Structure formats: structure tokens, C-alpha cells
Structure 1
């Protein structure tokens, strides 16, 4: 049982995470390229989004892992043998609940503590990209302005901007003077001051002009350090600008101490939404058994499809209930836990039918209807119709 559940569980989790990451990766590459940031930021942003994807993927992986394990046991008649020697469904659910309890603890840690902080760091990276705080973004062949007085242009960039060549710099001084620099090569170096970087130039010429000079001064150098002040930007806000960035203990505290009733409703709604989502995982083994044991001689995968649809639909209902609770029209406790109790009642009823009713099938009628519809569609396919005519 451990082996049968592990393979589909972790396969589903990895595939779901990869699909979600690939979808977001394309948008992040486009966003980072538009803002002129380094490509390495994309991987940091994706790493901060991974806890959010795991919070969605773990319940689906758990459901499919247990469902496919019982479906395989039923398809090979091993389930009939186990039932024949006196093993009840409650006994067979012991191993699935070991998985469930472990994953409930993992998911609680993710949605309660890891995901809020990762979400904050993701928003911070977006802010730094927009404000240029990740460093000077230099585009090849274009004039880049640093503030109102400095202009820089480069001809070539190598090693992700660490080696630059064909450099021109013009700087207007406060007293009315200016200087211009051309250099063969250059590179940016950090300093102890986070608002200033050093542009180290190699093999170049500096031309300085000022009102008191009769003619500009010309200096040829083999190495010259040019300080570049970075544009000042506002500091990013503290964590907690959104409810998604609060941990569960923080939400519980703010639900009682927030200064306004609107804020209390909002934080309480987010708190109950996360707790309900985690508590739902305790029902998934019962749902998986009810949907994973098909009627005899049935080959359709309706149970798998129906299980995913039920879980996703219930998740969307919870999101709508949380949004409704934030408005203060309904107490968040009622808005989120009443749907949970209804969903729990449905799942328990389905499990009772399969486990304690002889020959009971909670989706037997749907299986038969789905099988007939599939057979009717198959018979009307062009290739099937020609074979029937030849016969």
C-alpha cells in the first residue's frame, strides 16, 4: 500500500508543480526583461512562489495517490481478496492516513508559516526590479541616465554585464563644469555604501571642462575609478501589507486586536480559509476510496475525473466564501465552516455507501451513464462505422 500510494502521489505533485512553474516562468521572464533586470532574479522569484504551488498541489497529489492505489487493487481483484479475509475499509485506510497526517503537518507549515514570508519576498523582488535597486541595468548601444547629471553608453557587454567595453561617460558637475570619459573596458564594483557603486575603467581618456579653465584638461589613464551614485528609492514596506503575508498566529492575533471591524473580518476570513483548506485533507482518504473503487466490469476513469473536479470546485467555493466573509456580510466562521461541514457530510455518506452497503456504489449510476455515453460516441466515430459496415 505504501508503494502503490507513493508513486502517483509524488508524480502528481511534481508534474503539477512543474506545470504551474512553467506557466509562471514565461510571464516572469517577460516581466524581468521589460524591467531590465538580471535573469537570475527569475529563479529567486520562482523559488518564492514554490510554497504557494505546493499548498495547492499537495491535496491533489494526496487524493490521486490514494484513489489510484485503490483503483489498482480493485482492478486486479486484490481488494476482493483483502475484503474476503476480513479486512475492512477502515483497516485498509490505516496506511493512507499515515500519509495524510504527515502531509497535513507539512501543508500546515507551508500555508501557515512558509508561504506568507515567501510571498512577501516575492513582492519585494518585484519592487526592487521596478525601482532599479538590484543594480544598474545597462542596455548595450543606448544612452543610460543616472539621475539628472550622468549619462553612460557602452558598446559591448559580456558575462551578464560583468565585463563591459567601448565605454563613454558624461557627467555634469554642480558648479557648472563637466567631464567626459572614454575607456576601452570597465566593470562595476560594489562599495560599503549601498547607494554608490564604483565603475573601474581601463585604458581611457578623461576630458574635464569648467568655467575657470581656459581650455579643457585632458588626462590619459590606464586605470581610473569612477564613483556612480545610484538613484535613491523608497524602502519597501514592512511585511503584512496584505493578509497573505501574515502567518497563522499573526492572523489569529489580528483577528482580535485589529483597530477596525473591517480589518478584523478580513484577517479572520484569511485565518479560517487556511485552516479549512488544511482540515479538508483529512477527508481526502475517504473520498478517494469512494471514488477509486469502480463498479464491476467498469473500465472508465470517471472517479479520477470526478475527484479532481470535486476538490477544485470545493476550493473555489472556499475562495468565494472567504471573499464574502471579508466584506463583513457573513461571519467568516460561518461562511467557511458551513461549506466544510456540508462537504464532509457528502464525503462520509459516499464512504458509508461503499464500505457498509453490500454492493454499494456511490457513483454507480454516473459510471453506467458515462459508460453508455462513451460507447455511443465511440460507435459513431468514422473509423468504427466503416468497420461495422464491413462486418
Structure 2
């Protein structure tokens, strides 16, 4: 479970990190910001990956015991399926408490921290580099773009600069080549422009055109802005206790149905963990002949459907199309019903469940397909 969680978490963080680096290409401290953003994303991705990793680990462990005939020996000695699943149920209950902490407290604070860091990064100003084919607006008075740039963003080709002077007049500068250099104080950059022209207006408002071979222009590196609002402007930034308190309050800035949908959605995701052993143990036992892939696939589809139906229910509750209790509670009740049905129908004959028979059929179909493909390749 730890291995599956770690691998999935790293993959998701790497994918998001690449997008963040692209988004913050012009930030003055993009690597520091990306590290902070990635850390604040960990609780979000842990909440997503924990149920899937736990379910996959259960399938693998139970199937491995089944393949080694350990489960047959336990059942023959009088150990029931319920007793066999008991340790996994205890572990699931402990993980459910961990999930409540993650969903209820860590995610709200980390989501607000992520937004605060992202806001600061996006308003951190220009770092003195100009990415190719990107329009930079470090301030309201300065716009810079270039057609081509090297990997460091310091050697530019076909550059365009629009600046509003202190007197409020517009100044347009174009150049065939430019080199960007930071000043020693780190607060400004110097643009060493070559083969260009500058259009500006004098005090009488008359246009003046300047052509140059070499021209040096100094531009400021802008500073960072701060987050303006406090935590709690979004229901996803509220802890479980704050959500419960605000759903009972008569005066809330966020609609009550939205608060209820968020509260019930978090509880449903956390309380779904104790249901996973009821589903995974029979599927793991049914995988002795067909392998664990079909069981893991069916279970994964059920988990995915539960996750998206819960999100759909939250959306319907927020828009007032259905009560939050029904919109979020119905997917949880259906998922719980399937888990209990699979477990209790497998107690008399472990592994003999409707889903187990379906996975066997899927495994047989896959085997026949592979055999046919192998025969076609041989001929």
C-alpha cells in the first residue's frame, strides 16, 4: 500500500510540477515557489490515492495467499471469511481516521496555502528573463515580447517593448537582437539592443523616430504582491468542524447546501475505506484462476464510479437540483450495498460472487484473445 501510494503520488506531483514550471516561467523565484506548491499538493493527492492504493494492496495480498493455498488451509481449519477479513477491516478503520484528518483538516489548510503561494508567485513580477513567444506584462506600464530566445531567456531575437513613461507618454521600441543583463543590485535589468528603432512622443505630443545600432535600456524587476483575502472564502478551505458549525448557522456567506455537500462528500470518501476489504477480499479469492487483473479492474472501476458520482452529487446539491443528503448519500449507499452483497454472497463459497464470476469471464475472454492473436502472428 505504501509502495503504490508513493509511486502514484510521485507521478502526480511530477506531472503537476511540470505544469507549474511552465505557468511560473516568468516568476522571479519560480523554483522556490514550485517546491512550496508541490508540498502543499501532497494532502490533496494523498486523499485521492489512499483508497486506490489500499484496495490494490488488498487484492495483491489476498491473491498471493490464495495462490499459495494458505487461504484453503485457513478455511479448512474452520476459519471463516469474516475472521479472515477482520485484520483488514481493523486496518481500514484506522485508515478511515487518517483519511478524516487528511480530508477534514490537512486539505483545507494546504489548499489555502497553495492558493496563497500561487497568488504570490503569479504576482511576483518579472525575473528579468524573456521566454520566446510569450507576452510579458510585469507592470501596467511595461509589456515585453520576443519571437525567439535561448534556453536561458537572455539572448533574444526580434524583440518588442511597449512602455509608458513617467510623464504618461507611450514609447515603442523594437530591435533585431537583444541581450538581457541583470544589474549588480538585482533590482533592474539592462537590455543591450541592436539594430532597432524607437517611437516616442515629445512634450508637444509630436512623434519622434529614433533608429539605432546599439542602445541600452534599463527596466525594473517588479516585486511580489500579497494574498488579499483570509482563509474561508471557499467551502473547500473550511475544516470539518467549521463546515459542521456553519451548516447550523443562520448567517453564512456560502450557501448552506454548498456547505452540506462539501461536508457529506468528505465524510463519504473517508467512510468508504472500511467498505474496501468487504469488496477486495472476495475479489482476491476469486482471482485464483483468472488472475488478479480482472478483479483489480472491476474494483478500480467501482471506486472511480463512486468518486465521480460523489462529485456529481456535490455539484447537483450546490446548484439546488437535489438535497445534499440524497445527492451525496445515494452513491455511498449504492457502493456500500455492492460491497456488502459481494462479501456476504462469498461467505458460503469464498470467491463465488457475481463479480467474481464476471471477472472469471473477463479473464477467459482475455486469454482467448491472446491465444487468437498469438495464432494469427504465428501464421
Residues 286 and 352, structure 2, Cα contact 8 Å, conserved in 1? no
How far residue 316 of structure 1 moved from its aligned partner, in angstroms, is 0.5
CA deviations over 1:238-266 (Å, ceiling 9, x no partner): 11221111111111111122536970010
Match of 1:90 in 2: 82
Match of 2:198 in 1: none
Distance in 1 between the 2:224 and 2:14 partners? 34
1:138 aligns with 2:116: no
Match of 1:272 in 2: 264
How far residue 32 of structure 1 moved from its aligned partner, in angstroms, is 0.9
Match of 2:96 in 1: 104
Match of 2:319 in 1: 327
Q: What count of residue pairs does the alignment treat as equivalent?
A: 327
1:360 aligns with 2:356: no
Match 2:274 to one of 274, 279, 282? 282
Change (3 A) 1:386 1:332: closer
Residues 262 and 326, structure 1, Cα contact 8 Å, conserved in 2? no
CA deviations over 1:312-364 (Å, ceiling 9, x no partner): 11110100011111122221012111221222111111001112347733324
Match of 1:373 in 2: 365
CA deviations over 1:59-112 (Å, ceiling 9, x no partner): 111111112111111111110001111111221222212321221121111110
Match of 2:20 in 1: 28
Spell out the pairing of 1:295-306 with structure 2 (5 A cutoff). 297-299=289-291, 301-306=293-298
Residues 261 and 324, structure 2, Cα contact 8 Å, conserved in 1? yes
340-349 vs 49-58, greater mean Cα deviation:
340-349
How far residue 368 of structure 1 moved from its aligned partner, in angstroms, is 3.6
Change (3 A) 1:283 1:364: closer
Distance in 2 between the 1:66 and 1:123 partners? 35
How big is the alpha-carbon RMSD for the aligned residues of Structure 1 and Structure 2? 3.9
- Larger RCO (alpha carbons 8 Å, 6+ apart): 2
Match 2:230 to one of 220, 238, 242? 238
Gaps of 5+ in 1: 1-8, 150-160, 162-171, 175-183, 190-197, 200-227
Residues 262 and 328, structure 1, Cα contact 8 Å, conserved in 2? no
Match of 2:105 in 1: 113
In structure 2, the residue corresponding to 1:363 is in which secondary structure?
Answer: helix
Match of 1:225 in 2: none
Match 2:51 to one of 37, 40, 59? 59
* Bigger Cα Rg: 1
How far residue 297 of structure 1 moved from its aligned partner, in angstroms, is 3.4
Distance in 1 between the 2:368 and 2:332 partners? 38
Match 1:384 to one of 370, 375, 378? 375
Distance in 2 between the 1:318 and 1:145 partners? 41
Change (3 A) 1:252 1:300: closer
In structure 2, the residue corresponding to 1:138 is in which secondary structure?
Answer: coil
How far residue 46 of structure 1 moved from its aligned partner, in angstroms, is 0.9
Change (3 A) 1:127 1:41: same
Match of 1:316 in 2: 308
Distance in 1 between the 2:248 and 2:313 partners? 20
98-107 vs 68-77, greater mean Cα deviation:
98-107
Residues 290 and 362, structure 1, Cα contact 8 Å, conserved in 2? no
1:263 aligns with 2:255: yes
Distance in 2 between the 1:236 and 1:140 partners? 28
Gaps of 5+ in 2: 143-153, 155-164, 168-180, 189-219
Match 1:347 to one of 323, 332, 339? 339
Match 2:242 to one of 239, 246, 250? 250
Distance in 2 between the 1:334 and 1:297 partners? 40
Residues 124 and 236, structure 1, Cα contact 8 Å, conserved in 2? no
Distance in 2 between the 1:339 and 1:256 partners? 24
Distance in 2 between the 1:361 and 1:378 partners? 26
1:47 aligns with 2:31: no
